Amino acid sequence: MKLNVVESLKQLQEKGKLFTTLFSHGSLEVEIYKPHQIDFQKPHTRDEVYVVATGHSRFTAGNDEYSVMPGDVLFVPAGMEHRFDQFTEDFSTWVFFYGPEGGERS
């Protein structure tokens, strides 16, 4: 299985959505996400990892805030408030959901 950002963004554009699931296996789901103007995400029920694919943004998770760029990896535990802000028009990120509902235990 191989995914690349160009083909994944093309698939996303064809579907006319902000995100789409590209691959799943067991508890793992791989998505591509490209917010438009405002990130309306709500806390998710499973742990997730973001890998910034294109563009730049600010990212807030709980009380932490970061500048992010391509290649950056972000972890968000299940149930945590988080969002991307001030993202460039070309911003997109891979999203990896995994594990059980409620997140994995530490």
Domains and CATH numbers, the chain: 5-98 (2.60.120.10)
pLDDT tens sequence across 24-34? 999 999 999 99
Look up the pTM and report it.
0.94
Neighbours of 77 (CB within 10 A): 18
pLDDT tens sequence across 46-60? 999 999 999 999 999
Q: Are 92 and 5 in contact (CB under 8 A)?
A: yes
